[in-house]
Chains A and B, each alone.
Chain A
Amino acid sequence: MGPFASGSLLLLGLLVLLATGMPIAFALGLVSIVALILSGGFGVMEIIGETFFGGLASFSLVAIPMFILMGSAVASSPAGRDLYEALDRWLNRVPGGLVLSNIGACSIFSALSGSSPATCAAIGKMGIPAMVERGYPKSIATGSIAAGGTLGILIPPSVTMIVYGISTETSIGRLFLAGVLPGLMLTALFMIWTIISCRLAGYSFEAMAQRFTLREKLQALPRVLPFLSIVVAILFVLYGGVATPSEAAGAGALFCIVLAVVIYRMWRPGPLVEIFRSTLRESVMIMMIIGASELFAFALSSLFITQSIAMWIADLEVNRWVLLLFVNIFLLIAGFFLPPVAVILMTAPILLPIIVQAGFDPYWFAVVLTINMEIGLITPPVGLNLYVINGIAPDIPLQTILKGALPYVLCMMLGIIILCFFPGIATWLPGQMMGAAL
C-alpha cells in the first residue's frame, strides 16, 4: 500500500473512532498502534510503550500541569470578581466602560487562568447580570464575554502555546512573546466592535454610567496586583532565559496557591483538593493526548505519510497565500470539532514543515493557528464558551448568545488578515526581546 492509501485509511479509521465519542487520546493511540502493527508486525509492540513514555518524559512538558495548576488556583478563588470590580471602578468614565472592563477582565483573567471556559464562568457570572442591569443588549453582554474568554490561549502564559512549542520544537518563551501583541490587538478589536455595536443598538453610555470615588478605586487594587505581578514576573523570567518555562510555571503555581490561601483565606482542605483535582483532570487529559500523538507521529512517519504529504504540497507549487488559506480553512474546520490541544498535536507535525517551506515564520504561524482555535471555542457545534455562558445565564437563549458571538468571530478573522499583512505584530516583540530566531 502506498503512503496515500495508508494515510487515507488511517485518517478514516481515526474519524470513525472519534465519531463514537470515545476519548480522543485513546482513538488516536489505537489507530496508530494498529497501523504500526499492520505495517511492521507485532514486533512493534516492543517500542510502543517506549515511544509513549518517551513522548511524556520531558522537562518542557512539566510546564503544562504547572500552568494548569496555577490557573486552577486563580480560577477557584474569587480573584475574577475582584479583577472585574477593579476594572469597572477604573474604567467607568470611559464610554462603554462596563463592557470594556468586562473584555479587559476577560483578557487578564484568561491569561492568568489559561482556561477559556473558566474565564467565561468567572467574569460572566458578575459581568453579564451587571451589563443586562445597566441596559446593555443581551447579545452584546454575552457575546463579548464568550469572545473575551478565548483570549487566554493566545495571551501568555498559554498551555496551547506550550503544546505547540513542544510538538514543533520551537521556543516556548518566544511563542509566549509572539502572542502578546496579537492578544492585545484582538482585545482592542473586540472593544472597538463592542462600542460600535452598542452605538448601533442605540445604547446611551452616558445615561447609564456609575461614579466611583478615588478611594473606592484604590480599595479595589490590592487584591488584584499580586496576581497580575505573577504574570508579569513569569514573562520577565522567561525573556532573558533566566529560567525555563517549566521552572517559571512551578514557581507561579506555588505563588498562586499561596496567594489564594493568604488573600482569600482558602486554607480549608476542601477547596485546595478541588484545585488539585481539576488540575489532574485537565493535565492527564492533555498528557494522554500528547503521548498518543507521539505514537501518531511515529506511525505517520514510518508509513512515509508525513514526508509524502510535504513533498506533494511542495510539488503543487501553489501560491503561498493560497496554501495558507487552505491551511486556515482546514484548521478552522478541525477547530469546530476538536479541542485546540488535540488539533495542534495531530496537525502541527504535518503542517509546520509545509508552512516553513512556504516561507512563513513558525512563531507567526503559531499565532494564526491559535486564533483559528479561538474561533472554534465560540462557534457551534462544540464551542465550549457558548455552553458555559448558556449555563451561567440560563434566561438568555442560546440563539441570542450565538448572534452576539458571531461578530467577534469576524473580528478574529480580521485579526488573521491583519497578521497576514503585518506579520511584525507577532514577530517584532520576540525579536526585540530575544534576538533573531534561529
Chain B
Amino acid sequence: MRLYIATVTALSRAGGVLAMLLLAAAVLVTCQMIFVRYILGGSTVWQTEFVIYAIVAATFIGSPAVLIDRGHVGVDLLPKALGGAGRRWLEVIGAVAGLAFCLLLAWSGFIYFYEALTRGWRTATVWQLPLWIPLFPLPLGIGLLALQYVAEMLKLRDGGTLLAGEATHFEELE
C-alpha cells in the first residue's frame, strides 16, 4: 500500500513539474508569436495551436499534483461542521464520487484519443497536427488523477483528510 501511494505520488509530482514547464513554454511561445506578428510583421503557423494545447495538457497532467495539494476547491462547510464520523462518511462519499468522475472522463477521453490515433485525424489548420498528440494528455492526466484519488482514499483510511485544511490557505499566501 505504502509503495503504491509513494509511486503514484511521485508520478503525480512529476506531472506537476511537466505541467509547470508546459505553462512556461506557453508563455514564451505567446511572446515569440507577438514578436513575429506585431514587430516583424510576419505570420505564424503553429504558435496559436501550440499554446492552446500546452495549456490544456498542463491542466490535465497537472491536475493529479493539484489534487495532492488540495487545490481543487470544494464547499467544505458541512463536513467541517459535522466533524467525527459524519465528516468521515461525507469524505468517503465525496471521494468515491470524485473517483467515479475521473474514471468516466478518463475512459471517455481514451475513446476519443484512440479514435484519433487509429483513424489518423489531424487538426483542421495549416499546421495539421495529428490530433492524438494534444488528446493524449486527457486520458493520461485524468487516468493518473484517478490513481492519485485511490492513493488519497488510502490515506483517508489511515486518518488523513481530503478537505483543504484551514492552514493550507495561509501557507500558500505567505
Contacts and interface: CB of A to CB of B under 8 A. Distances in A.
A50 interface: yes
A164 interface: no
A339 B19 CA distance: 24
Contact of A49 (B67, B90, B91, B138): B138
Interface in A226-244: 242-243
B48 A59 contact: yes
B66 A285 contact: yes
A100 interface: no
Given A26-B102, A281-B172, A388-B170, A338 B55 contact: no
A325 interface: no
A56 B56 CA distance: 6
A69 interface: yes
Contacts of B105: 29, 33, 48-49, 52
B73 interface: yes
A56 B59 contact: yes
A53 B107 contact: no
A22 B52 contact: no
B112 A21 contact: no
A53 B98 CA distance: 18
Nearest to B81: A381
Interface stretch (A84-92, A101-109, A270-278, A424-432): A270-278
Contact of B75 (A66, A254, A281, A337): A337
A285 B30 contact: no
Contacts of B23: 65, 69, 276, 279-280, 283
Interface in B4-37: 16, 19-20, 23-24, 26-28, 30-31, 33-34
Interface string A226-266: 00000000000000001100110111011000000000000
B27 A21 contact: no
Given A46-B111, A118-B173, A382 B59 contact: no
B151 interface: no
Interface in A1-42: 17-27, 29-30, 33
Nearest to B141: A284
Contacts of B78: 19-21
A155 B98 CA distance: 35
Contacts of B48: 59
Contacts of A291: 59
A57 B56 CA distance: 6
A285 B71 contact: yes
B30 A250 contact: yes
Contacts of A52: 105, 108-109, 138
A61 interface: yes
Contacts of B98: 22-23, 26-27, 30
Interface residues of A, number: 68
Contacts of A242: 38
B42 interface: no
A25 B72 contact: yes
Contacts of A24: 72-75
A20 B173 contact: no
B101 A26 contact: yes
A21 B24 contact: no
Interface string A209-241: 000000000000000000000000000000000
B158 interface: no
B74 A23 contact: yes
Given A250-B27, A276-B23, A45 B62 contact: no
Contacts of A250: 26-27, 30-31, 34, 51
Contacts of B30: 62, 66, 246-247, 249-251, 254
A391 interface: yes
19 contacts: A21-B94, A30-B97, A45-B108, A47-B108, A48-B105, A49-B107, A52-B108, A53-B56, A61-B55, A65-B26, A65-B58, A121-B174, A247-B34, A254-B28, A279-B20, A283-B55, A283-B58, A337-B75, A384-B169
Given A21-B74, A65-B26, 18 more contacts: A21-B94, A22-B98, A23-B74, A24-B75, A26-B98, A26-B101, A27-B97, A29-B101, A49-B110, A52-B109, A62-B55, A66-B27, A69-B23, A242-B38, A250-B26, A253-B27, A276-B24, A388-B173
